[in-house]
């Protein structure tokens, strides 16, 4: 915002500085008026409106011309202090609005953080200070300006001041098999499945407090401990029978031991589910953890059967849900579950078909698991199948010196997202200008991503021992830096993108699903991929293209676009823009066509992508859910089904809680049965960004949820 030039303010500032020096070093009244008069003249002679910094430069020069060097020095100090005050005002206001719980941007920044809770407020307050430090000291001005204008989004700036990375695949196998240290306490290899589950949940909480993104574990790392428990139970049963003077018949021993094994699996899985939900990390939320369920990750035989038992129990407990304050079973947000569709479970008659039917039942009831097609991911990832980190960030393939691929123990350095809609609107529809602006913005993104990379360089392992020293990600020495893990493809760094749908509509006048517009959409994606490959070759850093899961940023981007370009039908006329490459939420398209169409774009998002279809309540139509799952297996790497899972605490209604518009055109959640609008007295779960949100959303995301069409 521009302010009117005021010579009186300049004179007042000089006089205040003048009063801080000895009388012999002071300017006379006449000299002060000369300084002010000369600065005023210089401002009038400029071809543009001078900013505060330019005016203060002039004042310093004019004071120097009066040979009052001590005064000039004091004025520089005064100027610095005033700059701090100016720049801190917005931070102060943000923090105060947090404490009063009336900052909508932050209140709905994360759909799984309750902004009323003290620990969350403390994290947000620290985040505001970190953002302020980041903007003023740690990032170049052009990056900060581009972020604030919505040209790009520098993700997680509230954590940037610290040397923290984004997300990871936890090497739980290393931690369990070789032991680890948690909070300076040695943890040896567990002697039972339940102990392994307990250690896993403690590690999850520690890891979540040492990074800002999601983490993933695989159940196959826990499966070997089922046999450890089985052997223990066999010994116990034999001892108990012998103590009673009974013969330890092998079949009886096996049957009794297996009963105890199943009971321990149930208790262990319950421990994981409830501890993940109830644990609170230092950022005031439950750990954002994904659990991977992949049968072929272990060899055939008893180990695979044990893994299948764990998966079955995980699905059964998630179908049941967790109790809310009223004792009603509801849908929890975490852990997120991923189930791999494989040859041995995808069709009736295959060995693990019943597990797949159970997964379908779980999806219909609780919106998880999501699905990875082993067939498709192996085509795209050099014959490998592995989980994403958190909700969709995928590692590129990395091979160790022995040629074997390695995934667990790796991580992502961070994300910067490109607003494709702004590039299109800034070009005015001129294709040559579009690509010219694209290159300018990509240069900004590269600079911003290198800032993320440089911030991690030199990080000592001591800042997060569980990650870097004790096996979660590495076994480096104390005092060593993590630098060698930042190069050569061991970790990735992500160029995100958003709004491909609106970008293509502006440039072509058509949806990117239109055969005439799809080639342009694919050209944009290929260009972004080629750019990542070019950067990687030049830096030896694994740049990768990432389909950004916009949350609060979808609202921010839309508001910035409306401010810069006004309302453009089909482009900027919503309070949200579309995630990554997705088909617009309002566009009619059936589930099978949507998944098939989006598969070609998912292939071009190697750093992360997920597709979804919105479906009604499918609990009484599991055959349809299974049909979609089969289509996922045949056509797309990673996808999910979005349904609803709500509960009104006032009247007990457990159908869909709807979104209505009040007399002020504000979107509200309302129970259709009793009219309850109190968000504190309802449980609403919706998929927003690849994971389930339960703390409601800003007006932009709420509008997007309201406008979603059904795909089935």
Which pLDDT score is estimated for 17?
86
Indicate if 300 belongs to the active site: no
Residue 98 to residue 106: CA distance in whole angstroms: 7
What number of H helices and E strands is found in the chain? Answer: 23, 20
Structure tokens at 52: 């505060």
Q: What is the pLDDT of residues 305-325, one digit of tens each?
A: 999 999 999 999 999 998 888
Residues 120 and 154 in one domain: no
DSSP label at residue 134: I
Q: What is the pLDDT of residues 613-672, one digit of tens each?
A: 999 989 999 999 999 999 999 999 999 999 888 899 999 998 889 999 998 889 999 999
Q: What is the pLDDT of residues 466-481, one digit of tens each?
A: 999 999 999 999 999 9
Q: What is the pLDDT of residues 590-603, one digit of tens each?
A: 999 999 999 999 99
Residues 420 and 308 in one domain: no
* The last residue of a domain, from among 554, 578, 602: 578
Residues 496 and 366 in one domain: no
Please answer whether residues 75 and 27 qualify as being in contact, where contact means their C-beta atoms are separated by less than 8 angstroms: no
* The last residue of a domain, from among 119, 138, 157: 138
Which pLDDT score is estimated for 111?
47
- Of 150, 690, 693, 700, which is the active-site residue? 690
Indicate if 393 belongs to the active site: yes
Indicate if 629 belongs to the active site: no
- Of 75, 546, 555, 633, which is the active-site residue? 546
Element (H, E) at 709: none
Structure tokens at 293: 């369920």
CA 545 from centroid of its chain's CA atoms: 15
* Nearest alpha-carbon partner for 233 in 253, 204, 208: 253
Which pLDDT score is estimated for 116?
58
Residues 116 and 150 in one domain: no
My answer on whether omega of the bond before 369 falls inside 30° of 0, hence cis, is yes
Q: What is the pLDDT of residues 658-689, one digit of tens each?
A: 999 998 889 999 999 999 999 989 998 887 76
For residue 460, how many C-alpha atoms fall within 13 Å in the half-sphere facing its CB?
A: 4
- Rounded mean pLDDT, 114-125: 62
Q: What is the pLDDT of residues 75-91, one digit of tens each?
A: 777 666 666 555 555 55
Q: State phi, psi for 168 to the nearest 5 degrees.
A: -160, 165
- Of 293, 389, 438, 671, which is the active-site residue? 389
Residue at 559 is within a domain? yes
Give SS3 for 533. helix
Residue 649 to residue 654: CA distance in whole angstroms: 9
Please answer whether residues 212 and 283 qualify as being in contact, where contact means their C-beta atoms are separated by less than 8 angstroms: yes
Residues 431 and 342 in one domain: no
Residues 130 and 154 in one domain: no
Residues 150 and 230 in one domain: no
Residue at 484 is within a domain? yes
Structure tokens at 278: 């109830």
- Tokens 């070997």 identify what position? 224
- Rounded mean pLDDT, 482-508: 98
Environment class of 475 (CB within 10 Å of its CB; exposed 0-12, middle 13-18, buried 19+): middle
122: how many CB neighbours lie within 10 A of its CB? 14
Residue at 642 is within a domain? no
Which pLDDT score is estimated for 214?
93
- Of 58, 125, 167, 362, which is the active-site residue? 167
Please answer whether residues 391 and 351 qualify as being in contact, where contact means their C-beta atoms are separated by less than 8 angstroms: no
Indicate if 178 belongs to the active site: no
DSSP strand E in 270-350: where?
289-293, 322-323, 329-330, 336-341
- Of 111, 393, 529, 544, which is the active-site residue? 393
Indicate if 689 belongs to the active site: no
Strands across the sheet containing 542-547: 152-154, 412-419, 492-498, 542-547
- Of 166, 283, 373, 579, which is the active-site residue? 166
Indicate if 503 belongs to the active site: no
Residue 234 to residue 254: CA distance in whole angstroms: 7
Which pLDDT score is estimated for 1?
46
**Which residues face 640 on adjacent strands?**
612
* Nearest alpha-carbon partner for 51 in 86, 12, 11: 86
- Pick the residue with more confidence: 330 or 116? 330
* The last residue of a domain, from among 357, 380, 403: 380
Indicate if 551 belongs to the active site: yes
Residue at 52 is within a domain? yes
Residues 274 and 333 in one domain: yes
**Residue 366 structural domain:** 196-210+217-380
Which pLDDT score is estimated for 593?
98
CA 309 from centroid of its chain's CA atoms: 31
Distances (CA, A) of 92 to 95, 99, 161, 276: 5, 11, 18, 34
110 has a pLDDT exceeding 60: no
- Of 58, 164, 391, 438, which is the active-site residue? 391
Residue 672 to residue 12: CA distance in whole angstroms: 62
Q: State phi, psi for 4 to the nearest 5 degrees.
A: -70, 135
Query: How would residue 147 be classed by pLDDT, with cut points 50, 70 and 90?
Result: very high
- Tokens 């709420």 identify what position? 702
Residues 157 and 274 in one domain: no
* pTM for this entry: 0.84
Indicate if 566 belongs to the active site: no
Which pLDDT score is estimated for 43?
85
- Of 551, 598, 640, 704, which is the active-site residue? 551
Residues 6+ apart with CB under 8 A from 186: 179
Q: What is the pLDDT of residues 339-396, one digit of tens each?
A: 999 999 999 999 999 999 999 999 999 999 999 999 999 999 999 999 999 888 999 9
- Tokens 């104390």 identify what position? 478
Query: How would residue 99 be classed by pLDDT, with cut points 50, 70 and 90?
Result: very low
Residues 152 and 108 in one domain: no
Residues 159 and 252 in one domain: no
Indicate if 112 belongs to the active site: no
Distances (CA, A) of 147 to 19, 456, 537: 40, 20, 26
Residue at 81 is within a domain? yes
Total tally of structural domains belonging to the chain = 3
3 has a pLDDT exceeding 90: no
The overall average pLDDT reported for the chain is: 90
Residue at 598 is within a domain? no
Residue at 222 is within a domain? yes
Residues 31 and 14 in one domain: yes
Distances (CA, A) of 508 to 474, 520, 527, 560, 678: 48, 8, 17, 22, 44
- Of 412, 419, 544, 605, which is the active-site residue? 412
Residue at 692 is within a domain? no
Structure tokens at 354: 């019943």
Query: How would residue 514 be classed by pLDDT, with cut points 50, 70 and 90?
Result: very high
């Amino acid at each position: 915002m521009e302010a009117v030039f005021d010579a009186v303010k300049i004179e007042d500032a000089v006089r205040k500085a003048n009063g801080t020096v000895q009388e012999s070093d002071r300017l006379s009244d006449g000299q002060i008026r000369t300084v002010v008069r000369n600065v005023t003249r210089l401002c009038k002679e400029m071809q543009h409106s001078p900013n505060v910094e330019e005016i203060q430069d002039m004042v310093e020069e004019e004071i120097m011309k009066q040979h009052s060097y001590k005064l000039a020095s004091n004025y520089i100090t005064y100027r610095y202090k005033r700059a701090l005050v100016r720049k801190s005002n917005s931070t102060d206001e943000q923090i105060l609005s947090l404490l009063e719980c009336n900052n909508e941007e932050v209140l709905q920044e994360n759909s799984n953080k309750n902004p009323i809770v003290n620990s969350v407020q403390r994290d947000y307050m620290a985040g505001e200070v970190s953002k302020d430090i980041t903007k003023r000291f740690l990032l170049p001005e052009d990056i900060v300006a581009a972020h604030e204008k919505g040209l790009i989004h520098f993700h997680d700036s509230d954590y940037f001041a610290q040397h923290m990375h984004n997300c990871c695949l936890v090497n739980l196998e290393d931690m369990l098999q070789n032991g680890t240290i948690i909070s300076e306490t040695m943890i040896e290899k567990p002697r039972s499945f339940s102990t392994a589950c307990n250690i896993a949940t403690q590690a999850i909480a520690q890891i979540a407090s040492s990074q800002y993104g999601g983490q993933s574990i695989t159940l196959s790392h826990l499966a070997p401990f089922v046999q450890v428990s089985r052997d223990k139970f066999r010994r116990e049963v034999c001892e108990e029978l012998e103590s009673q003077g009974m013969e330890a018949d092998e079949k009886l021993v096996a049957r009794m031991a297996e009963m105890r094994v199943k009971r321990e699996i149930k208790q262990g899985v319950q421990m994981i589910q409830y501890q993940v939900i109830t644990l609170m990390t230092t950022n005031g939320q439950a750990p954002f953890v994904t659990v991977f369920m992949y049968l072929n990750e272990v060899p055939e035989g008893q180990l695979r059967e044990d893994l299948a038992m764990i998966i079955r129990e995980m699905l059964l407990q998630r179908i049941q849900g967790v109790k809310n304050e009223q004792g009603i079973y509801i849908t929890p947000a975490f852990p997120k579950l991923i189930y791999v569709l494989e040859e041995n479970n995808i069709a009736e008659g295959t060995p693990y078909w019943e597990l797949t039917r159970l997964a379908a039942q779980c999806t219909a009831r609780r919106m998880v698991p999501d699905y990875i097609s082993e067939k498709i991911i192996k085509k795209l990832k050099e014959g490998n199948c592995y989980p994403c980190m958190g909700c969709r960030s995928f590692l590129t393939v990395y091979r160790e010196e022995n040629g074997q691929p390695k995934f667990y123990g790796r991580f992502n350095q961070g994300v910067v997202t490109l607003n494709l809609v702004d590039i299109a609107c800034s070009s005015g529809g001129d294709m040559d200008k579009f690509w010219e602006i694209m290159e300018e913005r990509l240069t900004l993104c590269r600079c911003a991503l290198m800032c993320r990379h440089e911030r991690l360089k030199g990080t000592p392992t001591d800042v997060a021992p569980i990650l870097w020293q004790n096996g979660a990600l590495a076994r480096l020495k104390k005092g060593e830096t993590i630098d060698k893990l930042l190069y050569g493809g061991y970790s990735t760094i992500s160029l995100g993108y958003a709004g491909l749908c609106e970008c293509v509509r502006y440039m072509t006048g058509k949806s990117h699903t239109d055969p005439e517009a799809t080639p342009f959409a694919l050209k944009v994606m290929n260009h972004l991929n080629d750019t990542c490959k070019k950067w990687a070759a030049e830096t030896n850093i694994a740049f990768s293209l990432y389909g950004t899961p916009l949350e609060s940023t979808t609202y921010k981007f839309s508001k910035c676009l409306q401010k810069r370009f006004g309302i453009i039908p089909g482009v900027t006329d919503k309070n949200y823009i579309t995630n990554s490459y997705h088909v617009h939420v309002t566009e009619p398209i059936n589930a099978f066509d949507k998944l098939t169409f989006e598969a070609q774009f998912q292939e071009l998002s190697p750093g992360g992508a997920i597709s979804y279809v919105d479906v009604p309540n499918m609990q009484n139509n599991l055959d349809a859910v299974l049909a979609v799952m089969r289509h996922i297996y045949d056509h797309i790497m990673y996808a999910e089904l979005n349904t609803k899972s709500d509960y009104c605490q006032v009247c007990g209604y457990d159908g869909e809680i709807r979104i209505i518009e009040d007399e002020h055109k504000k979107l509200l959640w309302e129970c259709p049965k009793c009219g309850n609008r109190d968000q504190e007295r309802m449980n609403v779960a919706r998929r927003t960004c690849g994971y389930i949100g339960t703390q409601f959303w800003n007006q932009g995301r709420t509008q997007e949820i309201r406008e979603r069409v059904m795909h089935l």
